[in-house]
Structures are given as C-alpha cells and as structure tokens.
C-alpha cells in the first residue's frame, strides 16, 4: 500500500494520522508541503526516523526543489523521486491512500 | 494487478472493495456533505462498500446537530438512511474518538468502533480508497 | 496499468491540480492509460475557460485541455459540484436558463457515477486534494 501525505507536519496532523494507520512494510511518499517533514533537525525528525525502521519513505524531488530544500538537508534513508517515480510507486501497490 | 475473475453466477464476487474515508468535520467545509453524496450515488453500483470516520470526520456523526441558525442544510439525518441504501459497514476509529472525548452513545447511528490497527488492516484489503 | 485520477481542489489556491497534472503527464509518458480524470469539490473550477492568469504563469485549465486533446483524455466535472460553483456547459446553461456557458474545451459535465465507474475500471485510483 502507498500512502501519500501533502501537509506540513508543523501545521496539520495528516502525517500523524498516516503514521498511526500505516502498516509495517507499507510505503510513504511525502509531496507538496509534506516535504518539510523530510528535513533534518526538526522537532519531528525522531518520528520520521522511527517510521523509517518499518517503512520506506520517499519524498517528491520537484517539491523539494521548489521549496529550496537540497538533498543534504534530507534525513538519511529517505529517497527522492520525481513524478515518474511517483507513478511507479502508485503502480507497484494495490492501492493508494492520500492523507489530505 | 487486481485481476477480476468474471463470475456471472455471483455478482458479489466481482464487486470491488471501496472504502470511503471521512476525516473532516461538517459545515466548516463542504467535504463531509459532498462525501455523503458520493456514498449515496456509489451505493447504486453494488460494490463492497465501507465507510470510515476518523480524525475530525467523527464529528459528522455527532447527535443533536441543529443548523437552523446557520441557514445550512443539516445533512446528518442522511447517515441514518445509509442502511436503506445497503451501506452497512460504518466504522469509527477508536483513537480519534478518545482524542475527542466521544463515545458511541454520542453518535446518531450505530457504528463499529475499531482500533487504528484494525482499520489499517481493512484499508490494506481495499481496491479503492476515496478520501474526504 | 490503468489509472483513475481525482482532483478535489480548484486551480492556483492549492497545489492539488498541479500535482495531479504532473502525475497524469508522467503516467502517460510511461505508457500507462488514464481511464478518467474526475474533478470534484472545488476541483470543478479547473474546468472554466474564463480564467486569465498572468502571462508568466501556467494556465492550469488550458494545460488540462491541451493534455486532453493530445491524449484523448476524459476530463469529467461532477455535475452537482459544478452546479453549486457555476461551471456550466451549453446543455446546463440551457436547462437552467443561464445566459452563457463557461466550460473549457476537452471537459465534460457528468454525474458522480462517473467517479465510481472510474474507480471500478481503473487498476489504481489516485486522489489529489487538500
């Protein structure tokens, strides 16, 4: 199962709900304002690192670029994908859950 | 992916598992009302449907809604009609209920209270997840 | 792979329509089929031809129209959502006695059943919203 999150974790609880409902082995893709969740040295970094022990986490590159975020600022273990990678992830899984 | 084997004898066997996930409070935005419209139309397609309320979505089911002073339609009675549309699997997430100080007696329809782990399992089995 | 796409927000205010567009384009480039793009909630506002964004900005509805023409996409605006928000085609304008229509090329107005049908027909339904 692919979970997408598009909200900043500093403003909305979508990421928390996603992490509460995500099963081990499911994949998470951070898009739009949720890409801020992928950055180092934040109050939610520990939460993301914990999730990384059970889930693969991806982040949408074009949304990082637009927001001035560079690969060096991204938590180790999170993989950057482009829109084609987003399509591949959606295609590889039985269903897609969009946490708005 | 999702291979469907045609089974003319048993149309249920060809039904897709569709889950509606409601996470927003009513009236502040239109999502709850327009989600309900999808559920009602979707019922005509005779698929394997379930409706989940979590986060602020559980407020949609709160008893005693009165929108008279707002001059907005109170659509909450329609949740009671879902049964006649054969939409019978209504779930609320226990964690969301507890966080908001609600119990099933506060809700206007009978629902099954499931833990987030149980809901996550159900979600995994779906063919389609529609979010509102 | 057959994808169904749902767009739940209008243009410009939210990124949803942009992300949906880029996803759809990427899927088509990879040779996937898009069974339908269904616009719901404020998403129906993507289907007006009357928007005039600044010249140096993307033209969201035109971009959808062009993609539809190029790939023979089925762009559907939910009729109930469109009626609420004043998006009308020729038939709807006539039916409700409006003096004009505003639907953009390549879009059509139809019922919510089209969303359910798309979710049944597609291998995967991907929603974009806020």
* Chain B interface includes C115 (CB < 8 A): yes
C124 and A98 in contact by Cβ < 8 A?
A: no
Q: Which residue has the tokens 């509102």?
A: B132
Let me know: does B42 contact B129? Beta carbons within 8 Å.
Answer: no
Q: Residue C96: pLDDT above 90?
A: yes
The structural domains of chain C, with segments of one domain joined by +, span: 2-128
Angstrom distance (rounded) from CA C72 to CA A29 = 29
pLDDT value, residue B14:
79
ipTM of predicted assembly, 2 dp:
0.97
Provide, as residue numbers in chain A, all residues whose Cβ is less than 8 Å from the Cβ of C26: 82-84, 86-87
CATH code: domain of residue B83: 3.40.1260.10
Q: Residue B9: pLDDT above 80?
A: no
Of C19, C29, C127, the CB nearest to A32: C19
* Chain A interface includes C12 (CB < 8 A): no
Angstrom distance (rounded) from CA C123 to CA C4 = 8
Q: Do the domain assignments include residue B3?
A: no
Q: What CATH number belongs to C2-128?
A: 3.40.1260.10
Nearest one of A60, B12, B17, A57 to C125, comparing CA atoms: B17
Using one digit for the tens of pLDDT, what is the confidence trace for B52-98?
A: 999 999 999 999 999 999 999 999 999 999 999 999 999 999 999 99
* Chain A interface includes B116 (CB < 8 A): yes
The structural domains of chain A, with segments of one domain joined by +, span: 2-99
Residue of B25, B55, B130 to mutate, interface with A, max A Cβ within 10 Å:
B55
Of B1, B2, B119, the CB nearest to A21: B119
pLDDT value, residue B53:
98
Angstrom distance (rounded) from CA B122 to CA B126 = 7
Q: Do the domain assignments include residue B49?
A: yes
pLDDT value, residue B8:
52
Alpha helices in C30-122 (DSSP H): 60-71, 79-85, 90-95, 113-121
Provide, as residue numbers in chain C, all residues whose Cβ is less than 8 Å from the Cβ of A90: 3, 23, 124, 126
**Chain A to chain B Cβ contacts (< 8 Å):** 38
Summary mean pLDDT of chain C: 98
Query: Could you tell me whether strands A27-30 and C107-110 are parallel, antiparallel, or unpaired per DSSP bridges?
Result: unpaired
Q: Do the domain assignments include residue B78?
A: yes
Angstrom distance (rounded) from CA A15 to CA A42 = 14
B131 and A21 in contact by Cβ < 8 A?
A: no
Q: Residue C60: pLDDT above 70?
A: yes
> Mean pLDDT over residues C119-127, rounded?
98
% pLDDT > 70, chain C = 100
Q: Residue C52: pLDDT above 80?
A: yes
Q: Residue C115: pLDDT above 60?
A: yes
> Mean pLDDT over residues A41-62, rounded?
98
Q: Residue C77: pLDDT above 50?
A: yes
Angstrom distance (rounded) from CA B82 to CA B63 = 16
Q: What is the dihedral of CA C39, B93, A39, A23, to 10 degrees?
A: -100
Angstrom distance (rounded) from CA A58 to CA A47 = 15
Number of domains making up chain B: 1
Active site residue C78: yes
Nearest one of B3, C111, B132, C16 to C24, comparing CA atoms: C16
Using one digit for the tens of pLDDT, what is the confidence trace for C18-51?
A: 999 999 999 999 999 999 999 999 999 999 999 9
Let me know: does B109 contact B74? Beta carbons within 8 Å.
Answer: no
Q: Do the domain assignments include residue B2?
A: no
% pLDDT > 70, chain A = 100
Domain that holds residue B34: 15-131
* Chain A interface includes B48 (CB < 8 A): no
CA atoms within 13 A on the CB side of B53: 31
**Domain with residues A2-99, CATH architecture:** 3-Layer(aba) Sandwich (3.40)
> Mean pLDDT over residues B112-124, rounded?
98
Alpha helices in A14-82 (DSSP H): 14-21, 45-52, 61-66
Please report which helix (H) or strand (E) contains residue B90, including its range: strand B90-93
pLDDT band at B1 (very low <50, low <70, confident <90, very high): very low
pLDDT band at B11 (very low <50, low <70, confident <90, very high): low
* Chain A interface includes B30 (CB < 8 A): no
Q: Residue C123: pLDDT above 50?
A: yes
């Amino acid at each position: 199962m692919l979970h997408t999150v598009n909200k900043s974790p500093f403003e909305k609880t979508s990421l928390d709900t996603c992490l509460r409902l995500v099963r081990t082995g499911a994949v998470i893709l951070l898009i739009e304002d949720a890409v801020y969740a992928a950055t180092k040295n934040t109050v939610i970094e520990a939460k993301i690192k914990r999730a990384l022990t059970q889930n693969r986490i991806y982040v949408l590159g074009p949304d990082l670029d637009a927001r001035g975020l560079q690969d060096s600022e991204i938590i180790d273990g999170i993989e950057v994908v482009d829109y084609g990678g987003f399509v591949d992830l959606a295609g590889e899984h039985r269903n897609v859950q969009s946490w708005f | 992916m999702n291979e469907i084997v045609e089974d003319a004898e048993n149309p249920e066997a060809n039904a897709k598992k569709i889950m509606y996930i409601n996470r927003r409070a009513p009236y502040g935005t239109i999502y709850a009302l327009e989600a309900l419209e999808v559920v009602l139309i979707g019922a005509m397609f005779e698929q394997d449907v379930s409706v989940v309320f979590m986060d602020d979505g559980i407020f949609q089911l709160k008893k005693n809604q009165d929108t008279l002073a707002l001059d907005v339609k109170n659509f909450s009675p329609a949740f009671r009609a879902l049964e006649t549309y054969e939409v019978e699997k209504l779930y609320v997430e226990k964690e969301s209920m507890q966080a908001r100080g609600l119990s099933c007696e506060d809700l206007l329809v009978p629902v099954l209270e499931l833990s987030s782990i149980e809901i996550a399992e159900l979600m995994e089995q779906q063919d389609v997840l529609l979010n509102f | 792979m057959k994808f169904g796409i749902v767009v739940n927000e209008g243009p410009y205010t939210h990124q949803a329509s942009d992300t949906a567009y880029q996803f759809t384009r990427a899927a088509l480039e990879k040779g996937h089929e898009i069974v339908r793009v269904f616009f719901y909630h404020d998403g129906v506002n993507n289907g007006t031809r009357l928007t005039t964004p600044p010249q140096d900005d993307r033209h969201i509805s035109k971009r959808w129209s062009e993609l539809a023409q190029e790939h023979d996409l089925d762009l559907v605006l939910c009729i109930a959502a469109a009626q609420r928000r004043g998006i009308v085609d020729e038939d709807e304008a006539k039916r409700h006695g409006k003096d004009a229509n505003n639907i953009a090329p390549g879009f059509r107005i139809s019922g919510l059943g089209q969303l359910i049908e798309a979710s049944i027909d597609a291998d995967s339904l991907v929603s974009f919203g806020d």
